[in-house]
Amino acid sequence: MILDVEIVGLILGAGLTLLIFSYLLGDNPLYRLALHLFIGALVGYSFGIVLRDVLIGMLLTRWLTEPVAVVVPLVLGLLLLFKGFPRHAYVGNFSIAYLVGVGTAVALSGALLGTLVPQVGATGRALSLESFVSFRLGPLDGLLILVGTVCTLMAFNFTARKRRGLAGVWARLVGVTAWVGRVFLIFAFGVAFAGALTAALSIFVGRIQYLIDVYFRVAGFLGG
Amino acid sequence: MSRLIKQWIPVLIAAITGLVVLAGYLIPSPLLIYYRDRLIEWAVIVAAFAFILGLFNILRVHGGRVVRLRQGWFYSLILLLVAMVAWVPPVLYGPSGTPTRQMLDYVIGPLGASLAALVVFTLALAAFRLLRVRRSAGAVFFILVVAVVLLGSTPLMGLEWLADVRDWIISVPGMAGMRGLLLGVALGTVITALRVFVASDRPHSEF
């Protein structure tokens, strides 16, 4: 009887699944072994992808054809490695600054064009006639979305409040809207929590199904 | 001179590259878009070196533990051995090669999915602990929302109205709360980015 790669792989996968599930009995050496194995495999796999796609695919290939185009990232990359030596770590700050600058700009444009503009537009459209038709309670739902969004934003107000005069009245008004906002936040977190629970439960059921499938595959294989 | 090199050059690099990339996103000019793409491509290469730096750190920490036979050395040895083997298939056969697929299907996939499956117990336990430790109106209301959304997703006989309530919670108050949260995060991102550009925040510099 010759064991094929698929059967060995399935048994390996099932064994690793059981090692991880052993955590349900408490933290134990088998779980820690599986965890370190997972981290090692992920680190190795990621390094392989980075080496193949970026360092060979983007850097070395371009270096052989058009060296000038990759001099700057190569120099910045090599400078970054100085971060591993505490006495000369400041040399790596140029590369970190470059990454921070580009990363910040990408995040800023993503926040502006991907979140702020579309979400503000969608909140405004909640009060349009087209939206009323799709809502269960019509205009009331649209109003709730608008009020809820504004109040939720007010819930992130962490400045000190004045207590006297008109400023005090305004502070109390802000306090009330922030409280309403926290109620809407509870709704949002509740929906997110239920979604995460449902997704995790689906994955758990999938793993149990995987173990059952492996059992029948191996039993069928051994039975001929 | 030292102050200029250590403090101001990183600030200038971050501000200039950031503003060029941002202009490439906001202004529809072919030249700016070209520079934006080129700068982002370079950032990917520099980030690869950052990954290598992280890899060296892992090797140093776990290698040191193995050499000195400190507590947990065996786990570190496993981690290092697996990492030394796992980088070979993607390099030699590519991400969609058979050995790479087998490594993903039989090792990384099952381990990752099993860890994700454990989250269901963590979340359920967290919900029970919330009710036990903090019995406030907010906590009870939160659990109530979770229960309605979960029960509304199941086809329970006689409780079909719960599905309607669930849909309403998701599409009206849940949506409003999440939208406020998203807008808050986006505003925070914008403010943090502007502080980096005007050098009020200097995560890359030593002053």
| Among chain B residues, CA nearest to A179 | B138
B22 and A CB contact within 8 Å: yes
Q: Is pLDDT of A94 > 70?
A: yes
Give the pLDDT confidence of A26-50 residue by residue, as tens digits: 999 999 999 999 999 999 999 999 9
Residue B105 lies in a domain: yes
Q: How far is CA A47 from CA A8, A92, A110, B114, in A?
A: 26, 21, 27, 23
Rg (CA), chain B: 25
| Among chain A residues, CA nearest to B188 | A111
B120 to A197: CB separation less than 8 angstroms, yes or no: yes
* Mean pLDDT (chain B, rounded): 92
Q: Is pLDDT of B1 > 60?
A: no
Q: Tell me the mean pLDDT in the region B106-116.
A: 96
Structural domains of chain A, count: 1
Chain A positions in Cβ-Cβ contact with residue B179 (cut-off 8 Å): 119, 122-123, 145, 148-149, 152
Give the pLDDT confidence of B27-61 residue by residue, as tens digits: 989 999 999 999 999 999 999 999 999 999 999 99
B67 and A CB contact within 8 Å: no
Residues 6+ apart with CB under 8 A from B58: A43, B79, B83
Residue A127 lies in a domain: no
> What distance in Å separates residue A68's CA from the closest CA in chain B?
12
Residue with the larger pLDDT of the pair A141 and A96: A96
Contacts of B53-58 spanning 24+ positions with Cβ under 8 A: B53/A80, B53/A81, B53/A83, B53/A84, B55/A43, B55/A47, B56/A84, B57/A84, B58/A43, B58/B83
Residue B109 lies in a domain: yes
Residue A147 lies in a domain: yes
B42 and A CB contact within 8 Å: yes
Residue A183 lies in a domain: yes
Domain hosting A224: range is 138-224
Q: Tell me the mean pLDDT in the region A194-202.
A: 95
Report yes or no: B44 and A50 within 8 Å, Cβ to Cβ.
no
The pair of three-digit structure tokens given for residue B128, joined into one six-digit string: 């029970």
Q: What is the ipTM of this complex?
A: 0.88
Q: Is pLDDT of B175 > 90?
A: yes
Which is nearest to B39 in space by CA: A105, A110, A111?
A105
User: Residue A181 burial (CB < 10 Å; 0-12/13-18/19+)?
Assistant: buried
> What distance in Å separates residue A220's CA from the closest CA in chain B?
19
Structural domains of chain B, count: 1
pLDDT of residue B206: 61
Q: Got the DSSP string for A46-104?
A: HHHHIIIIIIIIIIIHHHHH-GGGGHHHHHHHHHHGGGGSGGGGGGGHHHHHHHHHHHH
Chain B positions in Cβ-Cβ contact with residue A39 (cut-off 8 Å): 79
| Among chain A residues, CA nearest to B204 | A97
Residue B108 lies in a domain: yes
Dihedral pair phi/psi, residue A157, rounded to 5°: -95, 110
Q: Is pLDDT of A181 > 80?
A: yes
Residue A181 lies in a domain: yes
A76 to B181: CB separation less than 8 angstroms, yes or no: no
Residue B110 lies in a domain: yes
Give the pLDDT confidence of A103-154 residue by residue, as tens digits: 999 999 999 999 999 999 988 888 777 777 776 777 788 889 999 999 999 9
Closest by Cβ to A187, choosing from B51, B89, B169: B169
Q: Is pLDDT of B207 > 60?
A: no
Residues 6+ apart with CB under 8 A from B61: B76
B65 and A CB contact within 8 Å: no
For B:84-123, CB contacts with A below 8 A are 84-91, 94-95, 100, 102-121, 123
Q: Got the DSSP string for A139-172?
A: HHHHHHHHHHHHHHHHTT--S----SHHHHHHHH
Determine which of A9-13, A89-93, A102-106, B199-203 has the lowest per-residue pLDDT on average.
B199-203
Closest by Cβ to B102, choosing from A5, A76, A93: A5
pLDDT of residue A216: 92
The pair of three-digit structure tokens given for residue B196, joined into one six-digit string: 């980096």
Domain hosting B115: range is 94-130
| Among chain A residues, CA nearest to B114 | A17
- Orientation angle between helical segments A165-222 and B160-171, nearest 10 degrees: 120
Q: Tell me the mean pLDDT in the region A166-192.
A: 92
